[in-house]
Amino acid sequence: AKADGRGTYRFFETGMDARAQARRLLEMDLRAALQRDEFQVYYQPIRDVASGRVVAFEALLRWHHPQRGLIAPISFIPLAEETGLIVQLGEFVLRSACTDAATWPDDVDVAVNLSPVQFKSPHLITSVTEALTASGLDARRLELEITESVLLQNGEATLTTLHELRAMGVRISLDDFGTGYSSLSYLRSFPFDKIKIDRSFVSELATREDSMAIIRAVTGLGRSLGIITTAEGVENDVQLELLRREGCTQAQGYLFSKPRPASDVAMMLDRPRLR
Ligand code: C2E
Ligand code: CA
Ligand code: CA
Ligand code: CA
């Protein structure tokens, strides 16, 4: 980038330097955190809208930093992806999620988020197979959540991997649906088991007619294609009622529970609402 004056340029350089330094620190911290076992998988219940039953839990990664406390994934996943550390982190999440889910009632599934970077690693199928074998979890109880950026970056190879996972019995969900550019074409390129409607549409459900129209269209699409629809970020009863009316299959959000540690799963199964 060009700068108009010397001062501006130097300021810019210093800024870059500080950022690069912060990045290096965070990267060192991330590597150490893996060694020191500072990561933990939290779980958030997903309920069947019609029956209210908990049908699955989504695994969501947390970092217990010794100085900074509990850190949400938004603050470290991007760097973990850039540095490739996400592959190790992702394996940790897969192993933990399968091991935990193996202790749950067997009509309760577990959903694990996969980063696009994990698809570039040749080990993905092996990691999934190992997590299933080590835990003894039935492959049909594992759902993998991917965003359309996965399909965008590496079309053919990704499709092959997805079909392989499918053949093992694992189910595949399309996460954050509606936030990308050409979501509809992805539904034609791969037979997804589930569509997760992005939180942004759900949060505006009661206040914006266009959000309502989009939810109606997606649930209708799901019905005609035989794909389960899950609404993310359901925070109140008005939203839940509107989703029920549109025939949305599943709902997930703070209305039911925030993500919590594995030790709280029994409690989340027992109580319909927990905040
Ligand atoms: P996501 O997959 O879309 O996950 C849903 C996010 O929405 C979670 O944030 C969850 O805590 C939050 N959420 C759930 N219900 C509500 C609600 O009612 N209201 C609001 N405001 N938020 C709600 P979280 O745990 O901070 O995760 C953020 C993102 O980080 C995830 O978005 C996912 O993209 C990524 N992520 C989390 N864990 C993993 C992981 O193990 N691997 C990978 N690759 N990515 C992960
Ligand atoms: Ca997700
Ligand atoms: Ca999502
Ligand atoms: Ca999201």
**CB 70 less than 6 A from any atom of ligand 1:** no
| C-alpha R_g of the chain | 20
**How many C-beta atoms surround the C-beta of residue 138 within 10 A?**
14
Ligand 1, atom 12: closest residue by C-alpha: 233
- Return contacts of 156-161, CB within 8 angstroms, 24+ apart: 157/119, 158/119, 159/189, 159/190, 161/119, 161/124, 161/125
CB-CB contact of 239 with 212 (8 Å) = no
Nearest CA to ligand 1 atom 21: 233
Task: Tell me how far the alpha carbon of residue 44 lies from the centroid of ligand 1, in angstroms.
Answer: 9
Is ipTM > 0.85 here?
Answer: yes
265 lines ligand 1 (CB under 6 A): no
Q: What share of the chain is helix, strand, coil (3-state, %, to 5)?
A: 50, 20, 25
Nearest ligand to residue 77 Cα:
1
Tens-digit pLDDT profile for the chain (275 aa)? 444 444 444 545 566 688 888 888 889 999 999 999 999 999 999 999 999 999 999 999 999 999 999 999 999 999 999 999 999 999 999 999 999 999 999 999 999 999 999 988 888 999 999 999 999 999 999 999 999 888 888 778 889 999 999 999 999 999 999 887 767 888 888 889 999 999 999 999 888 888 899 999 999 999 999 999 999 999 999 999 999 999 999 999 999 999 999 999 999 999 888 87
Q: For 52, left (φ over 0), alpha (ψ -120 to 50), or beta?
A: left
Name the pTM for this structure: 0.93
Nearest-atom number in ligand 1 for the CA of 259 is 11
User: CA angle, corner 176, sides to 174 and 178, nearest 5?
Assistant: 95
